[in-house]
Amino acid sequence: MNTRQTVKPVFDSELCLVGARSDEELLKAVRRLLTFIEQAPGVALADVAFSTAIRARHTPVIAAFVASSPADLCEKLRNTEKKLRDGAARIRDKSGVYYNRQRLVHEGGRLAFIFPGELSPYPHMLNGLSLAFPCCRAAFDESDDACAGSPDMPLMSEWLYPAPTSTRSKATTLLNTLTGSMLASHTANTAIARLLTMLKIRPDVVTGHSTGELAALEYAGCYGVLSPARRNTMLRDAINLLSHLDNHERLPETVMVAIEGTEVLELVAHWLDENPGRIALAIQNGPSFRLLALAPEIAPDILTQLEENKIRHAVMPSKLPGHTPWFAHGLTPISQHLSTWISNQPTIPLYSCATASPINGRPADVLAACLDQWTRPVRLDLTVERLYSENVRVFLEVGARGLLTPQIEEQLSGRPHLAIATNRIHRADILQLHHTLAQLIAHGLSCDASLLHHHRGSRLLNLEHPEALQTRPSPPVKLTTALPELRPFDLPFSIGNQPGKLARLFGAQPKARRSDIGAEGPLLVGSQVIAETAGTSIVLEKNLSPNDYPFMRACSLGTDRSDKGDPRLFGFTVLTISTVLEIMAEAARRLVPRKRLAQAVNIRATQWMGFERPAKRIRIKAETVDWDDKRTSAIQVRLFDSEVPSQFSAQFAEATLLFTNSSANDERITPPPLEAPKPIEWTKTDIYPDRLIHGPLLQNVVAATQRGDDGLDFELSTPERAKAVLHTEIPLFTSYPLILDAAGSGLMLWNAPETFSGQISLPFRIRSIRYLVNSFTEGTPLHCYLRITNITPKSKVANIKITDGRGRLLIEINGWEELVYTVPRHLHRMVMRPRDSQLAQPLPDTVFGDVTAPVFGGIIADIPTAIFETNQGLWLQTLAFTVLNAAEREEWLSMKSTTSRRIEWLLGRTAAKDCVRRYLLQHHQQRWAATDVPIWADDSGKPHAHGPWQEHTNVFIDLSIAHTPGLVVAAIAANARIGIDVERVGRDLSEDFTRGVFTAEEHALSAASGEGPTAILRFWCAKEALSKALGTGIRYSPSDLRIRSHDTTTHTLRMEATGQWLEAFRQLRGQSITVTTELFQEHVFASCILPLSLATSTN
């Protein structure tokens, strides 16, 4: 049985920043933060760290503090205040205080990333970072997956992170091999580089020490864009290479000795003269560190001399003569590996530690420079001097252990510089990270430290108002010492599940070489062959991810395609029928590889396939079937959702593909006439994004010239393919899905004479497609003639002819059929233009009564929930992916509630986001998308708005959400607390309920109002609204929130807190609280707005 160990929280320290516009103002800023903490006992240190990081983002002068508790931070703030008052120009307290008046980066100093090599890894390295940051953990998962694909290589996690009860012997053994040490160091380098990228730290220069050059190559973009599957292939290739080198018969065995001290210069020179060809310098890091390679016959004598002269030294476990001329026999396999993967020039300046010079030019030049590293000594000392001469002043060691940093400091001793390691073997991972970031930021380096709090639930505090703070207990951290099960992606094939019984991989990932001759079957690259009968049938499985196929992301409903949108955040990606057809055509082509696709018939999608997660696993079954024309090979293909339980029907698409050896006929046509044609002259800007949903890669309709009662004439530009697929610039499609998507979109375009008409159509069936051309030239114009053949209440059917504009028919589509969805026009607009649209309609100001604080309300009442409950949840998912950011989507997807509850939750979040957006637009002239306003609930369940917009305003925004069947309302207040509630008029509150909630005095007030049950509803909504404004909800007895008076003209209530409410909010003693109630759209609406000082819990 596995046992869970108690461990201390991962974040045993926090990084707090105090920023100011000038050095003179910094003293005041330090005093302000100190005052806040002193007046806010019980404040969570994480909340302080997050809030100071947000405030310091764009301030040029920053003092950085690494603290373990609020008390520790206070002490450091007091000491810093004294030193600043005394005129200190530099503070470098190693306990965690950093400030510089002379900032290296502000003075023009550049930043270099230095990736360490094979001497850097150690057992259990980066465990703390991997627990805290999924981007770090992902690097280790990827290496595990690569090990699983190598039969002789145990999983890295098994030997790098042994169980507490085991010994370290296995880890030590594997770290002593070239394979283990390089894989571990590369993984650590990658993990920390990704973490720095997440924190928005970007170097000016990169270099790799010894085998750390491989990480430098990947970081500098020399491998191109690596999809998860392609990176897995690269790592497995590297493991195979390193295993080969570990056992290479022609590489001589040597004794590698590390020597420390400046006094050995003459002795080393003497040895080199006395033993030519038997001793070589492998590494020189600085004045006092060298690594020598010794021939075995002279090693005993050299080691004896070192002992006699009391020179510090260590014999290294590895016996391979790396970085010496003796390694020349290993260059051939290394060259073969690197030439496969080095495909691009560096995207940022890249330096070689072998030549201490830049690596420039074509991929062939990069390859040559990299091979130098294996047979020439590593000269970090000369490389550091070269970088310093080119104004590099900050040297950041991006990897494990921190061996290189002290040697860089020694090399640059006495000169202005900063050398720092992101990880040190004898310091906790998070603590060292905080110290590293603190020093970088204090020297003027740009870094978004607020991202350290991603997914941690840290709250943004109003540091000017300690009285507004709501304290919260720090929840216990429950972590195991083993790395958590975080999976960044699923590989597109199965590996390591059944050793010795691996399913055969069909079509390994194509390697991007210097000349890309194209990739056939690009959508089935990396697919797994489950069963096959040659030439008769084949069954494939594929882990399909739109992230590997950008053209698929171009068909995402609800994507913010404005220039301010996050290019990494897409709406709900739907697998289109043209992409489905391409997958089926590629599978069919496996059975008839040398024939031409002549026709596709009976293409049908039986259900929608969308991507809630980054990938979906699908199964493809293709088999030959009889056909009347014996010159034609007919292949029937069906697609299945592999994630659907076996007891349910998982088939979601089918088609029959006809292949032939004969060439296409040259057919000429006359454009069919239109009924009642009207010139429209729509250009591309008229079409996207207001009429068609597609992103840039599928925006291939360039003009619409005529629209008639029965169709549309429009023009396409043959799509470019270079960016459609990540693993190749020349995807060799079988069925031309990009052209089909563009041609088929003409039906939605015909159906949109007005923008945002409320009708969105998606294709689900095609009777037949004939292909009369073997290829298309990118960029050439195509003319399309779409004619409607049938219209039903739910669908539209059309025939489409695609020509070259001179009468030659290229593709003929018959029976292109689309389901038409009628949605409210403002929902339609929001899906097409999310940044410019809002789903919630404004609430009239009158419902809030006479208030001084800016208040904005929104209501969603005119969207039938049936839209979200039917169509396999297509529009519910679309709305979620339109308004939620990535983290919120995960929360929504993980909800186990009923569909109606998920709809209410989503609409409530949407309405609240719309209120915040409308306030920011009207009061700050800032236009934000809903995804820019994430909403998170605190420990009491009260929602709070966060996001990048907070950098642009110091206003505190509070919000409240309420819903009842068929109606959702939300409201926000600036620099005040707000609570709202709503109930449908006529709701029956049971006698038992009202007896427990209302006092006799309140029942009397209700009876005197003349409203009967409606008055009781007002009173109940008022109690809910007040409890929400206090931030607790009905935590204590609702009967202790007393209604003292009811103005039957204005329906304003006067309320008083008693009982337990006064224990939690002592400042409410003797306070008369106003709550406004209104009848609105057959509902009772109540709102309560409180000053910040009254809504702060005193518990």
Q: pLDDT digit string (tens) for 549-560?
A: 999 999 999 888
Residue 3 · residue 429 · CB < 8 Å? no
State residue 171's pLDDT score. Answer: 52
Residue 683 · residue 822 · CB < 8 Å? no
Residue 753 · residue 678 · CB < 8 Å? no
Summarize the confidence of residues 997-1012 as an average pLDDT: 90
What distance in Å separates the CA atoms of residue 14 and residue 19, rounded to the nearest whole number?
16
State residue 742's pLDDT score. Answer: 95
Least confident of 153-157, 433-437, 681-685: 153-157
- Neighbour count for residue 308 (Cβ, 10 Å): 8
Residue with tokens 């003409």: 746
Q: pLDDT digit string (tens) for 375-418?
A: 899 999 999 999 999 999 999 999 999 999 999 999 999 999 99
CATH numeric code, 110-251+324-441: 3.40.366.10
Summarize the confidence of residues 816-845 as an average pLDDT: 90
Provide the residue count of the chain: 1099
Instruction: Tell me the fold of 980-1099.
Output: Ribosomal Protein L22; Chain A (3.90.470)
pLDDT averaged over every residue in the chain: 87
Instruction: Tell me the fold of 255-315.
Output: Alpha-Beta Plaits (3.30.70)
Least confident of 143-152, 326-335, 441-450, 875-884: 143-152
State residue 512's pLDDT score. Answer: 37
Residue 509: which pLDDT band, with cuts at 50, 70 and 90?
Answer: very low
Question: Domain 14-103+444-468 belongs to what architecture?
Answer: 2-Layer Sandwich (3.30)
Please determine, for residue 500, whether its predicted confidence score (pLDDT) is greater than 80.
Answer: no
Instruction: Tell me the fold of 842-975.
Output: Ribosomal Protein L22; Chain A (3.90.470)
Parallel/antiparallel/unpaired status of strands 943-945 and 809-822: unpaired
- Tell me the percentage of the chain whose pLDDT exceeds 70: 92
What distance in Å separates the CA atoms of residue 740 and residue 810, rounded to the nearest whole number?
12
What distance in Å separates the CA atoms of residue 97 and residue 80, rounded to the nearest whole number?
8
What distance in Å separates the CA atoms of residue 326 and residue 332, rounded to the nearest whole number?
13
State residue 108's pLDDT score. Answer: 93
What distance in Å separates the CA atoms of residue 649 and residue 644, rounded to the nearest whole number?
8
> Could you give the C-alpha distances from 453 to 18, 133, 456, 632, 945, in angstroms and in order?
17, 10, 5, 61, 15
What distance in Å separates the CA atoms of residue 1054 and residue 436, rounded to the nearest whole number?
55
SS3 state at 814:
strand
State residue 400's pLDDT score. Answer: 95
Q: Please list, in sequence order, all residues whose beta carbon lies within 8 angstroms of the beta carbon of residue 152, skipping any fewer than 6 positions away.
A: 243
Summarize the confidence of residues 308-333 as an average pLDDT: 88
Least confident of 140-144, 149-153, 973-977: 149-153
SS3 state at 733:
coil
State residue 167's pLDDT score. Answer: 43
Please determine, for residue 94, whether its predicted confidence score (pLDDT) is greater than 80.
Answer: yes
Residue 568: which pLDDT band, with cuts at 50, 70 and 90?
Answer: confident
CA 44 to chain centre: 27
Q: Rounded to a whole number, what is the largest CA-CA distance in the chain?
A: 112
Residue 47: which pLDDT band, with cuts at 50, 70 and 90?
Answer: very high
What distance in Å separates the CA atoms of residue 1015 and residue 1020, rounded to the nearest whole number?
9
Q: pLDDT digit string (tens) for 674-725?
A: 999 999 989 999 999 889 989 889 999 999 999 999 999 999 999 988 889 9
Residue 494: which pLDDT band, with cuts at 50, 70 and 90?
Answer: very low
What distance in Å separates the CA atoms of residue 539 and residue 550, rounded to the nearest whole number?
26
Sign of CA dihedral 566, 567, 573, 576: positive
Summarize the confidence of residues 154-165 as an average pLDDT: 69
Instruction: Tell me the fold of 678-830.
Output: Thiol Ester Dehydrase; Chain A (3.10.129)
The candidate with the shortest Cα–Cα distance to 392, out of 351, 355, 436, is 351
**Half-sphere exposure (Cβ direction) of 992: Cα atoms closer than 13 Å:** 0
* CATH 3.90.470.20 residue window(s) in the chain: 842-975, 980-1099
Summarize the confidence of residues 963-967 as an average pLDDT: 90
* CATH 3.30.70.3290 residue window(s) in the chain: 14-103+444-468
What distance in Å separates the CA atoms of residue 1099 and residue 1091, rounded to the nearest whole number?
18
Residue 152: which pLDDT band, with cuts at 50, 70 and 90?
Answer: low
Summarize the confidence of residues 772-777 as an average pLDDT: 85
SS3 state at 848:
helix
Cis (ω within 30 of 0) for the bond into 689?
yes
The candidate with the shortest Cα–Cα distance to 881, out of 541, 666, 613, 1064, is 613
Sign of CA dihedral 222, 225, 227, 230: negative
Let me know if 922 is exposed, middle or buried by CB neighbors in 10 A (0-12, 13-18, 19+).
Answer: exposed
> Could you give the C-alpha distances from 370 to 284, 338, 367, in angstroms and in order?
18, 9, 5
- Full DSSP string of 689-715: TTT----GGG--EEEEEEEETTEEEEE
Summarize the confidence of residues 977-1005 as an average pLDDT: 90
Question: Domain 519-660 belongs to what architecture?
Answer: Roll (3.10)
Summarize the confidence of residues 961-983 as an average pLDDT: 94
Summarize the confidence of residues 907-919 as an average pLDDT: 95
Residue 552 · residue 573 · CB < 8 Å? yes
State residue 477's pLDDT score. Answer: 37
Q: pLDDT digit string (tens) for 1057-1099?
A: 999 999 888 889 989 999 999 998 899 999 999 998 886 766 6
Residue 315 · residue 257 · CB < 8 Å? yes
* CATH 3.10.129.120 residue window(s) in the chain: 678-830
The answer to pTM > 0.85 is: no
Please determine, for residue 369, whether its predicted confidence score (pLDDT) is greater than 90.
Answer: no
Q: Please list, in sequence order, all residues whose beta carbon lies within 8 angstroms of the beta carbon of residue 308, skipping any fewer than 6 positions away.
A: none
Least confident of 245-254, 463-472, 819-828: 463-472
* CATH 3.10.129.10 residue window(s) in the chain: 519-660
* CATH 3.40.366.10 residue window(s) in the chain: 110-251+324-441
Residue 9: which pLDDT band, with cuts at 50, 70 and 90?
Answer: very low
The candidate with the shortest Cα–Cα distance to 187, out of 222, 224, 161, 225, is 161
State residue 296's pLDDT score. Answer: 92
What distance in Å separates the CA atoms of residue 1044 and residue 1041, rounded to the nearest whole number?
10
State residue 514's pLDDT score. Answer: 35
Residue 742 · residue 701 · CB < 8 Å? yes
State residue 1098's pLDDT score. Answer: 60
Higher pLDDT, 651 or 507: 651
> Could you give the C-alpha distances from 350 to 168, 250, 888, in angstroms and in order?
36, 31, 38
State residue 482's pLDDT score. Answer: 37
